[in-house]
């Protein structure tokens, strides 16, 4: 069975499971390092990964869960690729000037378009991504009346009709409420186990189209909802827990913010 046939079979099985359900479609990228087996592989099957000194490929699956219970329902899409061994560096390619369709980051848009068939019978779809997917083209193209986005904020953005940048504007919003959160210890980060109190803020915002997209067909601004969860008075020597999320789901109160934060 080819990769394409396997991906098609997975999507068809997922379609049978999601009918009538509100779902989360969670995407992320993994690097499969095959350097130890490079001598036994065909050159066409592999390319550069990681630091461009090791060989392998990348896989970007979209895992679908029931939005209420978190029960896994299948894979709606799987993307597999490798970088060619002759790949130029980003400066040589003028990477920032490339259209999104010509960038590796297009995987976030493609995850949604490739999942459309498998998720067409779901009542609501929320695509969930890490900060790597916080891209204006994603916000402008993926969301529909039935399809939403929930992404961890990455760059501090210019807001339309606001003097403040996104992070400052969000931080100045009134606290909607607080909740307690048990923090697990993480020796790698020097983090101690503790119970943290988290303050929640939210705001409706309009992201301004980045200057790099000037002259494009992307809208001048995109309306989203921003949620901030920040630890109150962390222990001495400990960094405060601080998350910022962006979503197309309406968030105008503490209860809705908690649902997004969870």
pLDDT in tens, 219-258: 999 999 999 999 999 999 999 999 999 999 999 999 999 9
Q: Largest Cα–Cα distance of the chain, in whole Å?
A: 60
pLDDT tens digits, residue range 104-142? Answer: 899 999 999 999 999 999 999 999 999 999 999 999 999
> Do 66 and 35 form a contact (C-beta atoms < 8 A)?
no
DSSP state, residue 53: T
Give the integer Cα–Cα distance in Å for 131 and 154: 5
* CATH class (in words) of the domain with range 1-152: alpha beta
DSSP state, residue 163: S
What per-residue confidence (pLDDT) applies to 90? 55
> Do 111 and 62 form a contact (C-beta atoms < 8 A)?
yes
CATH fold of 153-262, please?
Transposase Inhibitor Protein From Tn5; Chain A, domain 1 (3.90.350)
DSSP state, residue 61: E
Confidence check: pLDDT of 190 > 60: yes
pLDDT confidence tier of residue 202, bands split at 50, 70 and 90: very high
Structural domain spans, the chain: 1-152, 153-262
What per-residue confidence (pLDDT) applies to 89? 57
- The residue to which tokens 């060619």 are assigned: 84
51: helix, coil or strand? coil
Contacts of 216 (CB under 8 A, 6+ apart): 209
- Please give the model's pTM, rounded to 2 decimal places: 0.90
- Report which secondary-structure segment, H or E, holds 231: strand 221-231
């Amino acid at each position: 069975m080819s990769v394409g046939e396997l991906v098609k079979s997975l999507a068809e099985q997922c379609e049978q499971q999601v009918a009538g359900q509100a779902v989360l479609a969670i995407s992320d990228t993994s690097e499969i390092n095959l350097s130890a087996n490079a001598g036994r592989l065909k050159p066409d099957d592999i390319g550069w990964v990681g630091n461009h000194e090791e060989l392998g490929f990348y896989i970007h699956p979209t895992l679908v869960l029931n939005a209420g219970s978190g029960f896994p329902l299948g894979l709606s899409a799987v993307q597999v690729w490798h970088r060619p061994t002759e790949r130029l560096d980003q400066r040589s390619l003028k990477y920032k000037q490339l259209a999104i369709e010509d960038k590796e980051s297009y995987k976030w848009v493609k995850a949604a378009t490739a999942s459309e068939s498998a998720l067409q019978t779901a009542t609501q779809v929320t695509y969930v991504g890490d900060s790597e997917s916080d891209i204006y083209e994603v916000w402008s193209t993926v969301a529909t009346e039935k399809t939403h986005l929930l992404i961890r904020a990455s760059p501090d953005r210019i807001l339309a009709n606001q003097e403040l940048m996104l992070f400052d504007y969000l931080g100045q919003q009134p606290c909607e409420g607080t909740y307690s959160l048990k923090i697990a210890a993480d020796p790698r980060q020097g983090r101690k186990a503790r119970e943290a109190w988290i303050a929640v803020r939210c705001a409706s915002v309009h992201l301004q189209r980045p200057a790099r997209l000037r002259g494009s067909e992307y809208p001048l601004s995109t309306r989203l909802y921003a949620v901030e969860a920040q630890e109150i008075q962390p222990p001495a020597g400990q960094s405060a827990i601080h998350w910022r999320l962006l979503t197309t789901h309406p968030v105008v109160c503490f209860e809705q913010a908690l649902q997004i934060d969870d």
